[in-house]
Amino acid sequence: MANRGIEPRLPGYTDDDGFRWVIDSLEKCLPIAEKCGVTLGLENHWGLGITAEGVLRIVDAINSPWLQCTLDTGNFLEDPYDRLEQMAPKTVFVQAKTYYGGGIWYSLDLDYHRIARMLRKHNYQGYISLEFEGHENWATAIPKSLATLRHAFTSK
């Protein structure tokens, strides 16, 4: 957390090496995923996936309907909306973060109406999962979080 998701490179290696390893590894997993009818979603997260460009570099290099994007609304710490928009056309699953009571690691003030409009624009038809990362008691925070998400994703 202190590095805000920026992972140090292994000595003697580059990001290009890392991307090649990830792409090669996922290409080995995809035949089984396809056989089982499972679409893998690569999440925007730390390391090589800290940027939308990094996630899409992997997804685009593999170019398979069996590998798309998992969009985590809370993993772009700065300027999230343009980055979320980049991934939206290839998104197959959304993790929506809320932070009632203040975030455990950090807090973002996310505009879920804006995110919902963006996903509708890209004809997203998948699930929206709640990922609660706040200090408030779960028994009160989760119902509030679900109400927020339901309102945003059912409003026009």
Among 23-27, 74-78, 112-116, which is the least confidently predicted range? 74-78
Query: Is position 65 within any domain?
Result: yes
Query: Is position 8 within any domain?
Result: no
pTM above 0.85, yes or no: yes
Query: If you count them, how many residues does the chain have?
Result: 156
Residue type (1 letter), 1: M
Average pLDDT, the chain: 95
Helix axes 80-87 and 112-121, enclosed angle (nearest 10): 30
128: CATH = 3.20.20.150
User: Can you tell me the mean pLDDT for 58-65?
Assistant: 98
Query: Is position 147 within any domain?
Result: yes
| Gap between the Cα atoms of 127 and 20, Å rounded | 30
pLDDT band of residue 1 (cuts 50, 70, 90) is low
Count the neighbouring beta carbons within 10 Å of the beta carbon of residue 83: 20
Query: Is position 7 within any domain?
Result: no
Nearest to 87 by CA among 128, 117, 52: 52
Joined together, the tokens standing for residue 18 give 């890392």
pLDDT band of residue 148 (cuts 50, 70, 90) is very high
Query: Is position 2 within any domain?
Result: no
Domains held by the chain: number: 1
Strand intervals (E) in 47-120: 67-72, 91-98
Q: What is the span of the domain harbouring residue 40? A: 15-154
DSSP secondary-structure letter at 3? T
Query: Is position 63 within any domain?
Result: yes
Nearest to 44 by CA among 67, 71, 5: 71
